Structure 1
Amino acid sequence: MPEKIDVHAHYIPNAYRHYLDEHGYFGGQATPAWSPDAALEKMDELGVAASVLSLARPGFPFGDADRVAAMARHVNEYAAGLVRDRPDRFGLFAALPLPDLASALRELEHAYDALSCDGVILLANCAGVYLGDPSLDDLMAELDRREAVVLVHPNTPPGPSLTGVPVFAADFLLDTTRAALNLVRHGVLRRHPRIRFILAHGGGFLPYASHRIAGLTPGEDGSVDRDRFLRECSAFYFDTALTASPYSLPSLLAFAEPGHVLFGSDWPFASLDNSEHFTAELDAYPLPTGTRRSIERGAAESLLPRFASAETG
């Protein structure tokens, strides 16, 4: 019987696919095929009881503020309908129409109060502005007030990519790492402790390079506080999407606080057989029973308690 709760699973409404196609967006990877039935089939194959659906990058970079706000409303309403139909199998991390802050705050209110979303997804950077930037302080304050669960998903970083290397191969890891450092450096975790941030893809480079980063990254006052920096970074939550290898998983588990690692598949954007490959790696990795239970669903049940009592399957 499927047991896992997948906190990193994407959906692609037809209207959003057309929105990207209309502007010729490619992003190094063709938008994959997706449907609710295909999602349920893949979930069963991966042993997933419930998936928290989120929109993938690039978010809403095309069109004026009204068009962007309307598209965000549409995709959230669409996913909320899936959740209403199958609350045992689907959840929603709502998308916000950034970089327009006023529109994002309105959509956040709608997503929570009208759609009963499970949390939100935020891109690590939007138009080159990274999470943690003071311009987003009002959004962080509202997320804190709502005790939000926030999936931090990478986007294309500003600047040119390496010729011949897809942006999602390595640059995505840097993008997530940059967002995490900026959140810590600007004190967002200290000022808004009720936000629970999940860093996609095992936090990018953060666990592996944490001590180097902590010893070289000054805070806003210009000082370096290695111990505090490490404590705050390890307090993030992390998903296992494309990360559960015999090399990266030990580093992630050694770095993260107990109960802060959650299962993620990244389906359908994990190209070729990567969702299957990394799920099989996690399934085969020798973990204590309690640790495996926590990764597969216990940590998600703690963050998203409605799934703790849901009948799955």
Structure 2
Amino acid sequence: MLARIDVHQHMIPPDYRAALERAEISAPGGRELPDWSPDAALALMDSTGIATAILSVSTPGTAFLSDPGEAASLARAVNDYSATLAAENTGRFGFFATIPLPDVTAAVTEAAYALDDLHADGVVLLANADGTYLGTDGQDALFAALDDRGAVVFIHPAELPAPPVPGIPPFAADFLLDTTRAAYLLVRNGIRRRYPNIRFILSHAGGFVPYASHRMAATIMSETGRDPGEVLADFAGFYFDTALSSSPAALPSLLAFAEPGHILFGSDWPFAPEQGVRYFAAGLDTYPTLLADDAGINRSNALTLFPRFEAVSATRAAR
């Protein structure tokens, strides 16, 4: 039996759903808010060979709340819930802590609490929080706190800080650009070099990063004078998940570009329905010349980031 570690699976805690409903947000990112429960997550995992899921809250995070205090309180409630859920389902669930950006001071406080006290498996940061992108000026205190802890940072896209184009749901195309923008700034502005202990995961195979990497490296070289090979190494050194991306069109670029061991399994459930999870998982496992297990994509690559799940993964794989 497979024993996948899913680094891109979402949760919708009760307090978080209630906060979205109060704000009249029913379709974040253009996708209707799906039903979710821990039991439904475990059933999906058992039927698709997922031993462990690292859960996270998707867009809009807490950025839809204009009051910084309310955003921080909601992040705390979500993280406390997540820690309890993980403790009650040892080995099956981990979690990326929700961080209340764009307030950097509050974000540092919550990151320290979640990582030090709750023992979160990392943090989830939106590519942009209310229009403020990762990698822009003023975020060094947060990156320093994460670097000090050798944190895993899961970067998830949000809606672009611009009106959507009629007929194009944000999740269909804008999300990929949003991730790419954040990755570009993290490389261009030297965050990847200054904070080398942070392990960044880019959602959805990195958006457009593998495909556009050489073009972006040439641009950064012209702007900064940096060596293009160094810039490309910074881009290739991200981790990349396969959520909605393990297709014959996307996989060749990702496999050719990412550093060995830097591709991780992702499902995007429940925003991706079970049929979609199965479709892309099959694309990963049947891709010519690729054995997902041998390449470490299903679990061993993730174990370098989350070694605490090795026992449960090995046990389920042996069944």
Do both proteins adopt the same fold according to a TM-score greater than 0.5, normalized to the shorter chain? yes
Query: What residue in structure 2 maps to residue 209 of structure 1?
Result: 212
1:151-204 CA-partner distances (Å, limit 9, x unpaired): 000001111221111000000000000000000001011100000000000000
Give the Cα–Cα distance (whole angstroms) in 2 for the partners of residues 176 and 244 of structure 1.
17
Task: Report how far residue 302 of structure 1 moved.
Answer: 0.5
For 1:148, the aligned partner's letter is A
Report if aligned partners of 1:88, 1:310 keep a CA contact under 8 Å in 2. yes
Cα shift at 1:271: 4.5
Q: Residue in 1 aligned with 2:228?
A: 226
| Partner SS for 1:30 | coil
The aligned residue for residue 302 of structure 2 is 300
User: How far 1:9 sits from its partner (Å)?
Assistant: 0.4
1:6 aligns with 2:6: yes
- Residues 286-295 or 160-169, more deviating: 286-295
Gaps of 5+ in 2: none
Unaligned regions of 5+ residues in structure 1, if any? Answer: none
**2:274, 2:296 → 1: CA distance?**
28
Report 1:233-244 matches (<5 A): 233-244=235-246
TM-aligned CA deviation for residue 112 of structure 1:
1.3
How many Å apart are 1:280 and its aligned residue?
1.5
Is the 2:293–2:299 contact (alpha carbons within 8 Å) kept by the matching residues of 1?
no
Q: Distance in 2 between matches of 1:185 and 1:222?
A: 8
Q: Is 1:137 matched up with 2:111? A: no
Distance 1:250 1:292 in 2: 17
Offset at 1:218?
4.5
1:123-144, CA deviations, whole angstroms, 9 ceiling, x for partnerless residues?
A: 0011111111121111001100
1:48 aligns with 2:47: no
Equivalent residue for 1:190?
A: 193
Matches within 5 A, 1:32-71: 32-60=34-62, 61-71=64-74
CA distance 1:272–1:163, change in 2 (3 Å):
farther
Whether contact under 8 Å (2:121, 2:152) holds in the other structure is yes
Give the Cα separation in 1 of the matches to 2:37 and 2:292. Answer: 34
1:62-211 to structure 2, matched below 5 A, reads 62-211=65-214
- Root mean square deviation of aligned Cα: 1.6
- Give the direction of change, closer, same or farther, for the CA distance of 1:124–1:172 in structure 2 (3 Å limit): same
Residues 230 and 48 (structure 1 numbering): CA distance in 2 closer, same or farther, change over 3 Å?
Answer: same
Instruction: Provide TM-score, normalisation by structure 2.
Output: 0.94
Distance 1:218 1:240 in 2: 29
After superposition, the Cα gap between the structure-2 partners of 1:296 and 1:18, relative to the gap in structure 1 and judged at 3 Å, is same
Cα contact 1:150–1:195 (8 A) shared by 2: yes
Contact 1:152 1:198 in 2 (8 A): yes
Distance (Å, rounded) in 1 between the aligned partners of 2:231 and 2:259: 14
Alignment partners' CA distance in 2, 1:277 and 1:152? 23
Q: Give the Å deviation of 1:211.
A: 1.3
* Amino acid paired to 1:64: D
- In the TM superposition, residue 93 of structure 1 has moved relative to its aligned partner by 0.6
Q: CA separation in 2, counterparts of 1:5 and 1:167?
A: 27
Partner secondary structure for residue 297 of structure 2 = helix
C-alpha separation in 1, matches of 2:131 and 2:273: 25
Conserved 8 A contact 1:2-1:44: no
Residue 255 of structure 2: aligned partner: 253
Separation in 1 of the partners of 2:185 and 2:116?
A: 29
The alignment's TM-score, normalised by the length of structure 1, stands at 0.95
- 2:231 counterpart SS class: helix
Q: How many residues are treated as equivalent by the alignment?
A: 312
Give identity over the alignment, percent: 51
- Compute the displacement of 1:291 (Å): 5.7
- Taking the aligned partners of 1:53 and 1:290, their CA distance within structure 2 comes to 22
Local SS of the residue matching 1:273: helix
What's the CA shift for 1:245?
A: 0.2
- The alpha-carbon deviation at position 223 of structure 1 amounts to 2.6
Q: 2 CA distance for matches of 1:214 and 1:168?
A: 26
